[in-house]
Chains A and B, each alone.
Chain A
Amino acid sequence: MRRRYLALEIDSDGLFDSREFLDAVWSAVLKLYGEYGASRIGLTLIDYDMEKRFAVIRIVHSAVDMVRTALASMTRIGNKPVAIHVVRVSGTIRSLYKKATK
């Protein structure tokens, strides 16, 4: 199965742990695409650093547009306003870090 890795920038003043972040992403996907759609994206959290406000997720390659839309629709995690921006999309985790740190 082909996969895509997404480097994300978390734009918020609040602090969240990885669980809260992942739950919020799932919730956004569920709201827009329902359980059937969510079952097709293969979402996994690979890396999460709240200090740097940076996260990496892995999804199936056919779901990039769906996930990009769901991430753009996120406005809150808990009670804190948030915006999640996709910084990079890559086919391998190695090239993702290489591109993201450029």
Chain B
Amino acid sequence: MKRIYTDLHLCPNSKDSKHVSQMIIKASRLGYRLIAITFPSNLTGEEIRRLRNISKEAKIDLASRVDLKPKTPEELIYDLRKLRRRFEIVTVVCESKNVARQAAKDRRVDLLNFPSLDFRRRFFDKAEAELASNGLASLEIDIKPLLTLEGPARIRLLSNLRREATIAKEFHVPIVISSGVSDETLMRKPRELAALASLFDLDEVSAMEAVSRNPLAIVKRNRDKLSSRFVAPGIRIIRRGKDC
């Protein structure tokens, strides 16, 4: 079966509609069939529909995504309650340990993202992985810093990513590789993203899953849950009517 390649983290300037459509078209040209764009949490439904039309013309599926950057676990719970049903993908950018732990165990969180280059502020350790493996969260690795950093900073980042990928594998936490770019020239083909993952010792099979099957599973699961037919996990309405 042909793989459906996915990039769940494109960050165009959502106010610049030309830039957004250029990135959507480029993603389609590079071979992606599903992308997610980070939307501001106050984006209107009309705006999202307009972007969906652009992506439909480019023959690419668009998922809505929101990045939460809470300062405390309580703030995270509040944001999740408010936004979970409005977006297909919810990512938590973990900037403190408490938030990271809460995000890993909360089943409403899809992706855990650790942006810091300082290894003391990257909280994906064994305890975090264990919590994530009991929940539904996947570890998201953005490729952008690998392209923009050089020298010692990139060396340190690779060393951290290698450690995190090993822990994720040990605890069966799915890895999702995304581009995380806001600039068209930094966009890469899916196979190229997978090739860059070899720099932190992710084997070829896992890397290809990380750009296709793993992110696709998240979107599929959430679309099922957000559909009006969903009742509970494993239960959905298949027919409505008087004779049911």
Contact = CB atoms under 8 A, between A and B. Distances in A.
A82 interface: yes
Interface in B114-151: 146-148, 150
Chain B residues touching A, majority SS: helix
Interface residues of A, number: 16
A12 B185 contact: yes
A12 B187 CA distance: 12
Contact of B189 (A32, A65, A86): A86
B31 to A, nearest CB: 10
Contact of B188 (A31, A65, A72, A82): A72
Interface string A70-102: 011101000001110110000000000000000
Contact of A72 (B148, B183, B195): B195
B153 to A, nearest CB: 13
A73 B146 contact: yes
B185 A73 contact: no
Contact of B186 (A31, A32, A83, A85): A83
Nearest to A82: B185
A11 B191 CA distance: 16
Contact of B196 (A11, A73, A86): A73
Interface of B: 30, 146-148, 150, 183, 185-189, 191-193, 195-196, 198-199, 204
Given A71-B192, A83-B187, 7 more contacts: A65-B204, A69-B195, A72-B193, A73-B146, A73-B147, A75-B148, A85-B188
